[in-house]
């Protein structure tokens, strides 16, 4: 699907990768590239964890959180 869609998404991904590559070249430091990759993976990992933690039906969960007023 992504291969056929030569517009928006993959285009921007490609240019982001190019930008990353340029930054890496300019810095001439593979460690930074590695670190960058690690951070991206970590963020994905965290977002996946959010999915695990959230109740299955978000709408129902949010709707049923009803409180009496307090101070």
Partner 1 sequence: MTVRRIMGTEIEYGISVPGQPGANPMVTSSQIVNAYAARPELSKGGRARWDYEEETPLRDARGFTYTGALYDPAENLADEDSGLANVILTNGARLYVDHAHPEYSTPEVTNPREIVLFDKAGEMTMAEAALRAAHTPGIGPINLYKNNTDNKGASYGAHENYLMSRQTPFADIVAHFTPFLVTRQVYAGAGRIGIGQDASEHRFQISQRADFFEVEVGLETTLKRPIINTRDEPHADAERYRRLHVIIGDANLAEWATFLKVGTASIVLAMIESGAFDGSLAIAEPVAELRAVSHDPTLRHKIELRNGKRLTAVELQQAILEQAEAYCGPDADPDTREVLDQWAYVLDALARDPMELADMLDWPAKLSLLERYRERENLDWGAAKLQAIDLQYHDVRPEKGLYHRLVARGKMKRLLTDTEIIDAMTEPPADTRAFFRGRCLARYPSEVVAASWDSVIFDVGADSLVRVPMMEPEKGTKAHVGELFERCAAAKDLLDVITAD
Shortest distance, CB of residue 25 to partner 1, whole angstroms?
26
2 binds partner 1 (CB under 8 A): no
For partner 1, which residue of 2, 3, 28, 53 counts as binding (CB under 8 A)? 53
Q: Applying CB under 8 A, does 63 fall inside the site for partner 1?
A: yes
φ/ψ region of 57 (left if φ > 0, alpha if ψ in -120 to 50, else beta) reads beta
Q: Which of 23, 19, 45, 44 is nearest to 32 (CA)?
A: 23
Kindly state whether residue 8 participates in binding partner 1, applying the rule CB under 8 A.
Answer: no
Cβ-in-10-Å burial (0-12, 13-18, 19+) of 57 comes to exposed
Number of residues that bind partner 1 (CB under 8 A): 23
* Residues near partner 1, by CB under 8 A: 42-44, 46-47, 49-50, 53-55, 58-59, 61-71
């Amino acid at each position: 699907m992504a291969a056929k869609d030569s517009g928006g998404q993959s285009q921007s991904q490609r240019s982001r990768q190019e930008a990353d590559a340029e930054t890496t070249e300019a810095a001439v430091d593979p460690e930074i590239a590695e670190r960058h990759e690690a951070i991206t993976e970590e963020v994905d990992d965290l977002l996946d964890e959010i999915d695990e933690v959230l109740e299955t039906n978000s709408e129902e969960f949010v709707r049923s959180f009803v409180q009496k007023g307090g101070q």
